[in-house]
Amino acid sequence: LPSEKEIKLARKGDKNAFVRIIKEQEVSMYRISKSILKSEDECADAIQETILKAYDSIHKLKEVKYFKTWLIRILINQCSAILKKNENIISIEEWMMPSEKEDEKVLEVQEAVERLSDELKLVVTLYYFEDFGIKTIAEMAGIPEGTVKSRLSRARTELAIELGSENERGVGNVRK
Amino acid sequence: MSENKFDQKMKENLKKNETEIPKKVQMRIDETLNSLPERKKTRFIKKGVASVVAAVASATFVFGVGYHNEAMADVLKKVPFIDSVFKLSNETTLKEVKNKNMATNVEKSATDKEMTVQIKEVIYDGSRISIGYVIHSEKGLDGNNNPFIDYRVDGKKLSNYGAGGSVFRYDANTFMGVMHLDTAKKLPERFELEMHFTKIGRKEGNWKLSFPVRENNSENKTILVNKTKISGERKVTVEKMTLAPTSTEVIMELEQPSDKEMELSFELKNDKGEKLDIMALSGLGDGRYKVIYEPLDKETSYFTLTPKSRNDADTDKMLKKLGMKIEFR
């Protein structure tokens, strides 16, 4: 997490401090946007808008300790807006390169996460990758805590099945 | 497996795998960060202020590294020809300066770490120095090219100054940048300015360039105001104002009782009521200050200068009495 001092400087209008704290969060921002959006272009759009919005309003951030939560909330809102806008558009990238993802050599756990439905993917990314608590995730995603819990529980079941079967395949077992 | 164990295993597994940001997304992030405008700040005169309050400039020095590349001529051939950075910048005042032929062309280059820095032009209007430069690398440049620069005037290290600017992309291998320098002390009419770039983006290096600068005040208009306003124990005197192409400079004196000293800012508005941003503020000693605002539209017939406190409506009401209208024509 960026130091409170850096966030305070950014809040006071220090552009360089703002750049530094965003650079520290860029991987998280990409990961979370990718859990909601399909194409790289959409992720780039959402992150760009988030940076500009955050820069415009960081002076209003009351508690520096909530900086990351605040930033991710802006990002999720941006992603949702893009998702809504592009509802009926199939992105060229997605259409042209459907098989590219399958060729990537990623850990099977990550593959399994990527196969989850969109609503589960976001909650799983925030919970497992970013270590946010259930209450915070509920606030950021704008859903009740109960929904976060039930989505996590569904995700756990789906991941367990997915990973279980993958493991079996991996060692050459045939399921009967 | 219990829920907790499952969660723990998931977290461990997922974190083993470092997410890599695709190049396309990374470039967009860096370019967005690079193009962020300088924050419009309200600057306050603080107790005992005697230094320039502006964008923080770097003070890192890297000595002893050769900065002239033997293959300089070859490198230079590869730098795209950019006629003027001022013209291509998004600052209207600099475009005007260029159109009026007020800027001096420089064309000085330094190469290190396979990166070339080229100074294109400079304008010094008597209160602020603006420099247009180009950064080029045959290897391509990512989005972060913010420079760290040390300055010397006639060989003497510049202290007590403020610097701020912006960089923007020209092509995949080239960035352009504009840097503004505000100094507390008035600089000589002619001097040699040395710009020593010690870091560009994340790359440390040694790019040292030196070139002559000459004051061009042909478009400046100085008004001797000498107007005083008193309210209670406070007194504000505006001595003079200089309207220059790249800035508006106000020299003023502020007197207030030491036990009731307040941090004040001075709001300058044109005749349309539009607020001009403060670009730099420096203490000249004995309660005298130099405040540099953004340039004032020459069509303005008058402007108003009003002291402001930090978000206190009642104090502002009292301070309004210290405000003054200054006729331009």
Distance from CA of B106 to the nearest CA of A (A): 28
Mean pLDDT across chain A = 77
**Closest approach of chain A CAs to the CA of B170, in angstroms?**
19
Candidates B33, B35, B144, B278, partner chain A, best to mutate (most A CBs within 10 A): B33
Using CA atoms, how far residue B151 sits from B38, B159, B262, in Å, is: 20, 8, 33
> Tell me: the pLDDT tens digits for A160-172?
777 764 443 333 2
Phi then psi for residue B69, to 5 deg, are -90, 135
Between CA B252 and CA B234 the distance in angstroms is: 13
Verify whether the Cβ–Cβ distance B19 to A27 is below 8 Å.
yes
Question: How far is A47 from A41, CA to CA, in rounded Å?
Answer: 10
Least confident of A36-40, A55-59, B308-312, B318-322: B308-312
ipTM for the whole complex = 0.74
- Average pLDDT of span B250-276: 84
Q: In this complex, do A27 and B36 lie within 8 Å of one another by their Cβ atoms? A: no
pLDDT digits (tens, 9 = 90+) for B125-155: 888 899 999 999 988 887 778 888 889 999 9
Share of chain A above pLDDT 90, in %: 19
Residue B51 clears pLDDT 80, i.e. is over it: no
* Over residues B7-34, mean pLDDT: 81
pLDDT at res. B44? 57
Is the model's pLDDT at A107 over the cut of 60?
Answer: no
Tell which residue, B228, B235, B229, B211, has the closest CA to residue B124.
Answer: B211
> pLDDT tens across B75-104, in order?
555 777 888 999 888 777 888 888 888 899
Taking 80 as the threshold, does the pLDDT of residue B230 lie above it? yes
Comparing A1 with B194, which gets the higher pLDDT? B194
Helix ranges restricted to H, chain B: 3-16, 23-34, 72-78, 85-88, 92-99, 313-319
pLDDT on residue B195: 95
DSSP letter assigned to residue B180: E
Beta-carbon separation of A18 and B24 below 8 A: no
Whole-Å CA distances, B172 to B23, B116, B138, B169, B201: 13, 14, 9, 8, 15
Q: Cβ–Cβ of B11/A15 closer than 8 Å?
A: no
* B174-192 confidence digits (pLDDT tens): 888 888 888 877 899 999 9
Least Cα separation, residue B249 to chain A (angstroms): 23
Mean pLDDT of A102-128: 73
Is it the case that residue A31 has pLDDT exceeding 80?
yes
Write out the residues of chain A at the interface with chain B, using a CB-CB cutoff of 8 A: 13-16, 18-19, 22-23, 26-27, 29-31, 40-41, 43-44, 47-48, 51-52, 55, 106-107, 109-110, 113, 127-129, 131, 156, 159-160
pLDDT tens digit sequence for B200-224: 887 889 999 999 999 988 888 888 8
Are A19 and B146 in contact (CB < 8 Å)?
Answer: yes
CA-closest candidate to residue B144, choices A54, A98, A171, A15: A15
Between A90 and B261, where is the model more confident?
B261
Q: What is the pLDDT of residues A137-162, one digit of tens each?
A: 998 888 899 999 999 988 888 887 77
User: Which residue out of B16, B19, B42 would a mutagenesis test of the A interface target, given it has the greatest number of A Cβ atoms within 10 Å?
Assistant: B19
Check B22 against A40: CB less than 8 A apart.
yes
Integer Cα distance of A164 and B68 in angstroms: 62
Total residues found in chain A within this entry: 176
| Pairing label, strands B147-153, B190-200 | antiparallel
Q: Do A107 and B39 touch (CB under 8 A)?
A: no
In the prediction, which pLDDT does A167 show?
40
pTM of the predicted structure, to 2 decimals: 0.52
Q: In residues, how long is chain B? A: 329
B107-140 as b/e, with b when 16 or more CB fall inside 10 Å? eebbbbbebbbbbbbbbbbbbbbbbbbbbbbeee
Residue in A15, A52, A82 to test binding to B, most B beta-carbons within 10 Å: A15
What crossing angle do the helices spanning A40-57 and A15-36 adopt, rounded to 10°? 140
